[in-house]
A and B are shown apart, each in its own frame.
Chain A
């Protein structure tokens, strides 16, 4: 329909939905201090901002999960209280979140139709008729799984496509996508972008929320920037550039970390890995990790990086291979054994695997340092004074933005939560620290701080292993990088050869070599 209004020469299509001066507070915390945003039919609208800037709160309001304290939401120019997820759906809005909701035991088609009115025949659901209707939509979106297959075990990319299909079956006019590419490979991303462009051309608007500015610049015609609960910039056309976005997000210029020299990384070998294997994901991994160095592990999603980390950490047991930690055989059977031996892990999913969200910052940082906060080494009792002291020191050293050590960690922003997870290993000072995607979902400012922190840890003599799927990240951070593809280490890049292009090239070259022509 926007195509029609376009052909009639309307200067700009009237917005499908707008938010005007919306505010929202949770308890004492002001999440939105006045944000405005409007999305025209068929527009791909970018929404960016640091963690805690208020993006998710606005999405929750649009989805009808929570109500604004003040301000207006207009749908087709009419002031509206969305009120419930059901109504949001009636208005033609569809939401696809980072954590995709699925019933794994049901089929693809059943998942697509979940909660939607279904065609019936003699009072029973007429699945063949529904399949005939859904099938062309699924095909257009590019769903490759058969509609009658169970949804269990489908790759994330496929789940995204199924969710988009679901939105289109509902006749969505706006699809809100929250960090859609966080766990997609580069080729899957390209496929998704093509679909988004196709949606846009057919009049479906997309609100695209992401930290990945390249994607935003590539896809979006218009971008709204949130900072500290306010909409601080609305960029389009020639103003829409990377520096302009970064400046608006950060509210100043970004500090550029000078690449540290390699002199610290000449230390002795701390962890030596030979022939480590756990099929099907890890086929052969051999490398040495030295004291004081930051070693990156790069590669596409599915290359086996996180699985390798799990082997190092005793979370899974290898089929074959040996490890030496400071020259002694090291074969952890549990994470607890790995920690005792001197490893630390900052896991990929900090909210589900790293933190106890309802517990305080102090509780979370002290969890790996319980011996350090005993009131008396002979007795099992902990000293809450020592615990608070430890937490205060970590909060100060890492400049964590928390009101107090007693604040529940779930109330902090993503970057600050990540600092809490890293901070807990600061005290116990393991010999080897493994960080899996340390800056995923973290804003640019906090990302710089986390990188500096990682360099600091290495400078103090820790051996650091960083896994990252963002090719931009490792060049800033690492002395050396290993590129993994299909479960093998296919390339080692050192020093100034650790570049974005070298990483990408190695990831794809290796993957391409193994694909049968």
Chain B
């Protein structure tokens, strides 16, 4: 007796089937249409290998953080701390390298471990203290903002960032492909394998699908949920590090906006191919749509505010499509 059921109730079976196809493939159709339209409107700037490589390279950071967020939502929780966490990681990794003179790999390992730790904290608050994940991760995220200011006194760490660190995001170490694309492909590929092809992945899907049934089937639900938060936290650390490398600085709110992008991508993704179910391939396609949209807006010289309008609107469309898919699957 859901509200959506109410609106779709009068549809004929054919219309419903058509709507089902739209809900599943709408995002992909949208992506293709967007590429075609932009290519026609801007044949020189848009449909070029260089532009696509640039777009994908920029998109990679959002895709990594969105991939992590996907793991949190698959286990049935929300992680609102990812953007703030990524900002903190960016500040911290630059600080460790510039101020503490730590070797770059050591600094990266430290922030990855911190990302995992933040995930554990989020997970424990949600599973053991039974705090709603929206509140828990919002609280943790806000604390992270505070830590980030405390560490950097709010002053961006700009000078003295070594060239090698900058090369992390700007370099093309393999076959001339930008490094962020390689990292993104490894992360999303790994997460996809984990969810779709491993035994733990089955448990992850079960916990997100029906925690009560998963628990009675003998799955340790709390542990799986914490694991989801840990992956989310580590992906945030990776994105924060790559962003700091690309910007050449550690800035306290540099990555905050990734939160919204990641959410829009994850929900768009859940409406892709599957009926409102979160999955990694969907998140990849969702991110691509958002980033190509931004790119198109840039190429046509749309004012900056239009990006906010675009992103807000697409988040609503994404969640709408996802719940449409879900209600069609259940009817």
Interface: B277 (CB within 8 A): yes
From 383 to 433 in chain A, residues with beta carbon under 8 angstroms from any chain B beta carbon are: 408, 410, 424
Within 8 A of A (CB), among B61-97: none
Closest to A95 in B: B1
Across chains A and B, the number of contacting residue pairs, with CB separation under 8 Å, is: 94
**Cβ contact within 8 Å between A335 and B275:** no
User: Known contacts being A334-B220, A335-B215, A380-B199, is A367 close to B206, with CB within 8 Å?
Assistant: yes
CA distance A66 to B202 in the complex (A): 34
- In the complex, what residues of A have CB within 8 A of residue B212's CB? 352-353
Judged by a CB distance under 8 angstroms, whether A149 is at the interface is no
A96 within 8 A of B: no
Q: List CB contacts (< 8 Å) of B162-187 with chain A.
A: none
Q: Are B199 and A352 in contact (CB under 8 A)?
A: no
> Do B197 and A358 touch (CB < 8 A)?
no
For residue B205, CB closer than 8 A to chain A, the reply is: yes
Contact of B199 with A370 in the complex, beta carbons under 8 Å: yes
- Complex contacts, A25 vs chain B, CB 8 Å: 13
- With most chain B CB atoms within 10 A of its CB, the pick from A25, A335, A345 is A335
Contact with A along B1-23 (1 / 0, CB 8 A): 10001100110010001000000
* Given A340-B218, A382-B198, A356:B10 Cβ within 8 A: no
Contact A380 B217 (CB under 8 A): no
- Verify if A67 is at the interface (C-beta below 8 Å from B): yes
**Distance of A84 Cα from B8 Cα, bound (Å):** 12
Interface flag for A374 (CB, 8 Å): yes
**Which residues of chain A are within 8 angstroms of B190 by Cβ–Cβ distance?**
none
Indicate which residue in A69, A338, A347 contacts B13 across the interface (CB closer than 8 Å): A69
Inter-chain contact B1/A67, CB cutoff 8 Å: no
Q: Return the chain B residue nearest A424 by Cβ.
A: B217
* A358 contact from B201, B217, B277, Cβ within 8 A: B277
A84 lies within 8 A of B209 (CB):
no
B87 to A: closest C-beta gap in Å? 33
Decide: B200 and A380 in contact? CB cutoff 8 A. yes
Q: How far is the CB of A468 from chain B (nearest CB, A)?
A: 18
Q: Which of B13, B202, B210, B215 contacts A370 (CB 8 A)?
A: B202
User: A335–B219 Cα gap in the complex (Å)?
Assistant: 8
CA A359 to CA B203, docked complex, whole Å: 12
Q: Are B218 and A335 in contact (CB under 8 A)?
A: yes
Chain B residues 191 to 242 lying within 8 A of chain A, measured CB to CB, are 193, 197-203, 205-206, 209-210, 212-220
A315 at the interface (CB under 8 A from B): yes
- Chain A 6-56 residues near chain B, CB threshold 8 A: 25-27
Within 8 A of B (CB), among A327-349: 334-336, 338-340, 345, 347
Distance A381 CA – B220 CA, assembled complex (angstroms):
19
B1 near A367: Cβ-Cβ < 8 Å: no
**Inter-chain contacts of B159 with A (CB < 8 A):** none
Would A84 and B6 count as touching, CB distance under 8 A?
yes
User: Does the CB pair A358–B275 fall under 8 Å?
Assistant: yes
| Contact, CB under 8 Å: B199 / A382 | yes
Nearest CB on A from B270, distance (A): 12
The docked-state distance in angstroms from the alpha carbon of A368 to that of B206 is 11
Q: What's the least CB distance linking A434 to chain B, in Å?
A: 10
Contact indicator B210/A355 (Cβ below 8 Å) = yes
Minimal Cβ-Cβ distance residue in A for B277: A358
Inter-chain CA distance A345–B6, complex, in Å, is 37
Contact across chains for B217 and A367 when beta carbons are under 8 A apart = yes
Any chain B CB within 8 A of the CB of A160? Answer: no
The reply to whether B13 and A336 contact each other, CB–CB distance below 8 Å, is: no
Judge whether A356 and B209 touch: CB under 8 Å.
Answer: yes
A29 to nearest B CB, angstroms?
11
B202 touches A338 (CB 8 A): no
* B5 adjacent to A65 (CB under 8 Å): yes
Q: Which residue of B lies closest to A373 (CB)?
A: B199
Asked whether A224 is an interface residue with its Cβ less than 8 Å from the other chain, the reply is no
Whether A380 and B198, one on each chain, are in contact in the complex, defined by CB atoms closer than 8 angstroms, is yes
Interface flag for B329 (CB, 8 Å): yes
A356 to B5, CA, bound (A): 20
**Which residues of B are found within 8 Å of A356, using beta-carbon distances?**
205-206, 209-210, 213-214
Complex-state Cα separation, A249 to B200, whole angstroms = 43
Question: B218 to A85, Cβ gap below 8 A?
Answer: no
Q: Does A501 contact B (CB under 8 A)?
A: no
Once bound together, how far apart are the Cα atoms of A382 and B331, in whole Å? Answer: 31
Smallest CB separation, B197 vs chain A (Å): 5
Residues of A within 8 A of B214 (CB): 356, 367
Q: Once the chains bind, are B197 and A367 in contact (CB under 8 Å)?
A: no
| Chain A, Cβ-Cβ closest to B276 | A358
Is A358 a contact partner of B218 (Cβ separation < 8 A)?
no
Q: Is the CB of A374 within 8 A of B217?
A: no
A339–B217 CA distance with the chains assembled, in angstroms: 8
> For residue B201, which residues in chain A have a CB less than 8 angstroms away from its CB?
382
Nearest residue (CB) in B for A339 is: B218
Q: How many angstroms from the CA of A244 to the CA of B103 in the assembled complex?
A: 84
- Looking at the assembled complex, report how far the CB atom of A297 sits from the nearest CB atom of chain B, in whole angstroms: 18
Q: Which of A65, A347, A366, A367 is close to B9, meaning CB atoms less than 8 Å apart?
A: A65
A residues within 8 A CB of B220?
334, 336
Residue among A336, A345, A354, A359 with most chain B CB within 10 A:
A336
B17: chain A residues within 8 A (beta carbon): 27
Q: A355 to B218, Cβ gap below 8 A?
A: no
Determine which residue in A27, A83, A368, A370 has the highest number of CB atoms from chain B within 10 A of its CB, and name it: A370
Q: In the complex, how many angstroms separate the beta carbon of B24 from the nearest chain A beta carbon?
A: 14
Residue among B193, B199, B202, B331 making CB contact with A363, cutoff 8 Å: B202
Provide the residues of chain B in CB contact with A353, threshold 8 Å.
212-213, 216
Q: Report the minimal beta-carbon distance from B203 to chain A, rounded to whole angstroms.
A: 7
- Return the chain A residue nearest B198 by Cβ: A380
Known: A356-B205, A380-B199, A382-B201. 5 other contacts (CB 8 A): A66-B331, A336-B220, A370-B203, A374-B199, A381-B193
Q: List 16 A-B contacts (CB under 8 A).
A: A25-B13, A67-B9, A84-B6, A315-B215, A315-B216, A334-B215, A340-B218, A345-B216, A353-B212, A356-B210, A363-B202, A367-B202, A367-B214, A370-B202, A373-B199, A382-B199
